[in-house]
Amino acid sequence: MDVRAQISMVFHLDKCIGCHTCSIACKNIWTDRKGAEYMWWNNVETKPGTGYPTKWENQSIYNGGWVKNGNDIGLRGAGKLKGLLNIFHNPNLPVIDDYYEPFTYKYLDLIESPDMDDQPTARPISLITGKPINIKMGPNWDDDMSGTPDYARNDPNMEGLSAAEQEAMFQLEKLAFFYLPRICNHCLNPACVASCPSGAIYKRGEDGVVLINQKVCRAWRMCVTACPYKKSYYNWSTGKSEKCILCYPRIEAGYAPACMHSCVGRIRYLGVLLYDADLINDTASSENEDLINRQLDIILDPFDPKVISAAKANGVADSTITAAQNSPVYKFVKEWGLALPLHPEFRTLPMLFYVPPLLPVMAKLTTVDNTDQSKKMDDRAKYWPDNWLYDTSTEELFSTIEQARMPLKYMANLFSAGDESKIVNVMKKLMAIRMHRRRATVGDISDEKADNMLEQSGYNALTADDIYYLTSLAKFDDRFVIPASHREQAIEMLEFTGDVKGSVGFGFIEKPARGI
Amino acid sequence: MVNLDVLLFTAFPYFALFICIVGSIYRYKFLSFKYSSLSSEFLEQRKLFWGTIPFHIGIVLIFLGHLFIFIFPKETLAFNSVPIRLIIIEVGAFILGLSALVGLIGLFIRRLTNPRISIVTSKMDIFVEVVLLAQIVLGVWIAYDYRWGSSWFASVLSPYLVSLLTFSPEITAVSQLPLVIKLHIIGAFLIVLLIPFSRLVHFIVAPFSYIWRPYQKVVWYRSKNRVRNPEESWGVTRPKNN
């Protein structure tokens, strides 16, 4: 057993309101630079939709991720043979137009315009060439555009849904969508690391953050192809690839990453997971239907004395083990079984988990006779001829799940490699918690029914209250359990600090300018 | 004229090689952020294919051919003693030269005409492309006009290059060569000289180590095996990490 620690995340999609605050926080700190304008290390997509870059999930276009070859796995569009053969020209590389051409506006024209009959306008100009452009796309171009033929209908996750099911999703009355915020998954089996010919990308042993060494990157561009989530970006100006760094300078200082810290809906949780690194390759090579279960199996119980002693023997700090025991991620993923990885079939073992949305409001249309009700109404009051009711009372326990407006198959394509039973399982749990809370707050649910639902979902009232607390009431320190990075020890282990006594402590850092 | 030949075929090569080695090491160690192939495929993909593939295949194989004949002149001469082999080698090399030429012209046109690419074009890029273009034109010209280059390279230029590397430069044979060939030799050393000052550095860091490294790479801040026991005082040998 090779126990390592991984800082991982849970995004609770039921709480995401799609405000893009996370994206802006990230952009302002990290990617507001030349060559990085088009990069959104954190982005929020509307689902169903095509996403950013367009149709990134469709690996028949981008050839990202791993594929199973017998008992092993290989990179789909990169790797030792394909990567080196395609080094002069990589046919699987997404280009700037697959993302969008970054732009700004000539705001100064508004101010400096001479007197004229018409209002001055600020024309859009390209941030690459500086010339006027027609904006064709943006990072969230399909925001809230679910149902439109250009976006929702081209969603790669529609695969496996019947034509009727798809049409039903796009009818205006039945239209539903949710938001999918995405950052780098800091995978256990990262395809970007495996694809890098110069070995510039690595996973940090202490906390599992995946980083690109900017001094070793030589612009061979294979990581952009290999990452199935398209979260490695090529900086066209510096000639280096860049990606989400999980705000490691903030994490090392004990702060939550900027996207998580700024999250308005408080949908994000961050904590440590302990896992067995010996099993990574076996787990990533397992059959499609076993992928999720085995990925969850590789995550170890931080309370198990065997795990603790193995972790200590491996140099995992005591503070990290304590953080793993308090980790909200461990609770969501392992204890409560509420969170699932995004697209586990890409076989990178992503360490960002999502609680699928129980959307929209749990209700079903029931036919009712409204005649009596109409008679009671005043003549001047609005006449209400409808004979349906948006029924939020639940007679049967879990009936609304099967009739969910967002088809289970669609959710399964996103979060469980197509296995609907896993989604149903999570939905039931989420619904049981809601009913449990409804009993307490609204009071129109009988104890018997609420308890019955909890029992069927495998919870008891205490667990349900814990889940409710961490979902709805959790404070900052509950949501982000960040282990100390022990930099003081790390430095002492690296060098004799007496050698640098009296010096400034910083080396001369090279300006990150483009080479010649 | 003799003095000029000494300057061009003795002093200049040593100067170029010295600057190339020192400059590349300096840039690698102190300006490593600028060590990159600076690929522009992300901004323009389709035209690049028709330029970069013929260019790189041509230039890499031609370079390896020059290198092989330089290192194994006797074997080359023996191999070339059968006319049909010689003809195949010469025709093959000529085609590869044309391929590199066509590819480079394509790349040059793309660089000059595409507005996105001109944004990421430095003056050095243009200069390197002009030098390379001249060098390839000269090479193709030599292959056409002064035939059986693989044989006379082995008998004339290999000894010259060996004499350079053994620090006993012998330029009598080289100074008798036609002007075109002389220019080609000078061009070669000019390219060597340009390496540390241009994007040509990318060919020094061609990623061969990828072939034998494991796919996954984990970096520890502190070596798991060399964690210092804090209860002991610092020894004479400092612990090293990575």
Contact A320, A483 (CB under 8 A): yes
Assign A171 a pLDDT band (cuts: 50, 70, 90): confident
- Where would I find the H helices in A442-475? 447-457, 461-468
Across the interface, whether the CB atoms of B53 and A89 are under 8 A apart is answered yes
Handedness of CA A410, A413, A415, A416 (dihedral sign): positive
Task: State the Cα–Cα distance between residues A39 and A25, nearest whole angstrom.
Answer: 13
Check residue B198 and give its pLDDT: 94
- Tokens 């051409």 correspond to what residue? A101
Those residues whose C-beta lies under 8 Å from the C-beta of residue A167, and which sit 6 or more positions away, are none
In a domain, A212, yes or no: no
Q: What is the largest CA-CA distance in chain B?
A: 77
Q: What's the token pair of residue A483?
A: 């282990």
Closest CA to A308 of A292, A320, A326: A320
CB contact under 8 A, A218 and B238: no
- Is A56 inside any structural domain? no
Interchain CB contact of A148 with B (< 8 Å): no
> Is residue A52 a contact partner of residue A140, using CB atoms and an 8 Å limit?
yes
Q: Minimal Cα–Cα distance from B6 to chain A, Å?
A: 31
Residue A465 placed within a domain: yes
Dist. CA A260–CA A264, nearest whole Å: 9
Q: What is the pLDDT of residues A99-153, one digit of tens each?
A: 999 999 999 999 999 999 999 999 999 999 999 999 989 998 889 888 777 888 8
pLDDT (tens digit per residue) in A212-228: 999 999 999 999 999 99
User: Which tokens in the block code for residue B42?
Assistant: 């992300």
A488 touches chain B (CB under 8 A): no
Least confident of A458-462, A487-491, B42-46: A487-491
Q: How confident is the model at residue B91 (pLDDT cuts 50, 70, 90)?
A: very high
User: What interface predicted TM-score (ipTM) does this complex get?
Assistant: 0.89
> What is the three-class DSSP state of B39?
coil
Closest residue of B to A101, CA-based?
Answer: B43
Burial annotation A153-162 (CB, 10 A radius, 16+ → b, else e) = bbbbbbeebe
CA distance A340 to A289: 14
Domain count of the fold of chain A: 1
pLDDT in tens, B43-85: 999 999 999 999 999 999 999 999 999 999 999 999 988 999 9
Q: Taking CB atoms and an 8 Å limit, are B228 and A492 in contact across chains?
A: yes
Q: How much of chain A is in helix, strand and coil states, percent to nearest 5?
A: 35, 15, 50
- Domain of residue A475, CATH code: 3.30.70
Q: What percent of chain A has pLDDT over 70?
A: 89
Greatest distance between any 2 Cα atoms in chain A: 91
Mutate to test the interface with A, among B26, B35, B36, B208 (most CBs of A within 10 A): B36
Task: Select from A201, A203, A510 the Cβ nearest to the Cβ of B33.
Answer: A510
Separation between Cα atoms, residue A240 and residue B39, nearest integer Å? 9
pLDDT digits (tens, 9 = 90+) for B108-122: 999 999 999 999 999
Mean pLDDT of B95-111: 96
- Partners of A201 in the β-ladder: A212
Residues in chain A closer than 8 A to B40 (CB atoms): 236
State which residues form the domain around A325: 267-360+397-479
Q: Read off the pLDDT band of A15 (50, 70, 90).
A: very high
**The length of chain A, given as a count of residues:** 516
HSE-CB for A223 with a 13 A CA cutoff: 31
| B contacts of A196 (beta carbons < 8 Å) | 210, 217
Ordered alpha helix ranges (H), B166-240: 172-175, 179-194
Q: Mean pLDDT across chain B, nearest whole number?
A: 90
The three-class DSSP label of residue B117 is helix
Please report the pLDDT score of residue B177 as a whole number.
92
Q: What is the pTM of this model?
A: 0.89
CA–CA dist B240, B220 (Å, integer): 12
Q: For residue A337, is it left (φ>0), alpha (ψ between -120 and 50) or beta? A: left
B27 closest CA partner among B198, B155, B227: B198
Residue of B32, B198, B209 with shortest CB distance to A199: B209
Has residue A59 been placed in a domain?
no
User: Does any CB of chain B come closer than 8 Å to the CB of residue A280?
Assistant: yes
Mean pLDDT score of chain A: 88
B36 touching A (Cβ < 8 Å): yes
Q: Looking at the domain assignment, is residue A440 inside a domain?
A: yes
* Contact criterion met (CB below 8 Å) for A513 and A238: yes
- Please state, in angstroms and rounded to a whole number, the distance separating the CA atoms of residues B108 and B149: 28
In whole angstroms, give the CA distance from residue B102 to residue B95: 10
Distance from CA of A419 to the nearest CA of B (A): 29
| Cβ contacts of B44 on chain A, cutoff 8 Å | 95
Report yes or no: A495 at the B interface, CB cutoff 8 Å: yes
Q: Quick one: DSSP state of residue A120?
A: -
Cα of A269 vs its chain's centroid, Å = 11
What is the per-residue pLDDT for A340?
96
The per-residue pLDDT for B97 is 96
| CA–CA distance, A239 with A34 (Å, rounded to integer) | 11
- Residues in chain A with CB shorter than 8 Å from the CB of B219 are 202-205
Check if A494 contacts B (Cβ < 8 Å).
yes
Closest residue in chain A to residue B126, using alpha carbons only: A516
Instruction: Tell me the domain boundaries of chain B.
Output: 2-211
Higher pLDDT, A198 or A366: A198
* pLDDT above 50: residue B242: no
- A-chain CB neighbours of B129 within 8 Å are none
Tokens for A363?
Answer: 């209700």
**Residue A458, domain member (yes or no):** yes
Which of A256, A128, A253 lies closest to A183 in space, CA to CA? Answer: A256
* Contact present, A69 and A63 (Cβ < 8 Å): no
Q: Is A434 helix (H, G, I), strand (E, B) or coil?
A: helix
Res B204 pLDDT > 60: yes
Domain-embedded: residue A431? yes
Which residues of chain B make contact with A514, given a CB cutoff of 8 A? 34, 38, 120, 122
Cis peptide before A102 (omega within 30 of 0): no
Comparing alpha-carbon positions, the chain A residue that sits nearest to B36 is A218
Contact B124 A280 (CB under 8 A): no
For residue B217, the tally of other CB atoms under 10 A from its CB is 16
Contact: B41, A95; criterion CB under 8 Å: yes
The interface residues of chain B toward chain A in range 144-173, judged by CB-CB distance below 8 A, are none
d(CA A12, CA A269): 8
More confident residue, A400 or A79: A79
Given this model, what pLDDT does residue A251 score? 93
Name the CATH superfamily for B2-211: Transmembrane di-heme cytochromes, Chain C (1.20.950.20)
- Under 8 Å between Cβ of A133 and A125: yes
Rounded alpha-carbon distances, angstroms, from residue A40 to A195, A270, A514: 21, 20, 21
Contact B224 A90 (CB under 8 A): no
- pLDDT of residue A231 exceeding 90, the answer is yes
- What is the least distance, in Å, from the CA of A494 to any CA of chain B? 6
Return residues 41-70 of B near A (CB < 8 Å). Answer: 41-45, 48-49, 52-53, 56-57
Q: Enumerate residues 6+ apart whose C-beta is below 8 A from A345.
A: A288, A291, A417, A418
| Spatial distance between the Cα atoms of A277 and A284, rounded to a whole number of angstroms | 12
Burial of residue A516 (number of CB atoms within 10 Å: 0-12, 13-18, 19+): middle
Residue A364 backbone phi and psi in degrees, to 5 = -135, 155
pLDDT at B130 over 80: yes
- Cβ–Cβ under 8 Å, residues A258 and A31: no
Q: Which residue of B has its CA nearest to A516?
A: B198
- Taking the C-alpha atoms of residue A428 and residue A453, their distance in angstroms, rounded to an integer, is 8
Cβ neighbours of A347 in B, within 8 Å: none
Cβ-contact A472, A355 below 8 angstroms? no
Residue A459 within any structural domain of the chain:
yes
**pLDDT higher than threshold 50 for residue A253:** yes
Residues of A in contact with B215 (CB under 8 A): 79, 193-194
Q: Look at B26 and A363; give whichever has higher pLDDT.
A: B26
Q: How far is CA A129 from CA B121, B122, B209, in A?
A: 12, 14, 36
Residue A5's pLDDT is 95
Q: How far apart are CA A315 and CA A142, in angstroms?
A: 46
For residues A351 and A188, the answer to whether their CB atoms sit within 8 Å is yes
Query: Which of B37, B45, B234 has the CB atom closest to A239's CB atom?
Result: B37
**What is the pLDDT at residue B2?**
64
Q: A–B: how many Cβ contacts below 8 A? A: 171
Provide the pairing of β-strand A340-341 with A299-300: unpaired
- Record the tokens describing residue A203, joined without a space: 């996973």
Contact A215 B120 (CB under 8 A): no
Query: β-strands A268-276, A299-300: how paired?
Result: antiparallel
pLDDT value for A391: 63
If contacts are CB pairs under 8 Å, which of residues 71-90 in chain B contact chain A? none
Q: Do A516 and B37 touch (CB under 8 A)?
A: no
Task: Report H helices in B39-166.
Answer: 46-71, 73-80, 83-113, 115-119, 123-145, 149-152, 158-165
Q: B124 to chain A nearest CA, in Å?
A: 6
Q: Residue A180 above 90 pLDDT?
A: yes
- What Cα–Cα distance (Å) separates residue A109 from each residue in A17, A57, A116, A130, A348? 35, 40, 13, 14, 48
Q: Does B33 touch chain A (CB under 8 A)?
A: yes
Q: Cα–Cα distance between A483 and A273 in angstroms, integer?
A: 11
**What confidence category does residue B241 fall into, taking pLDDT thresholds of 50, 70 and 90?**
very low
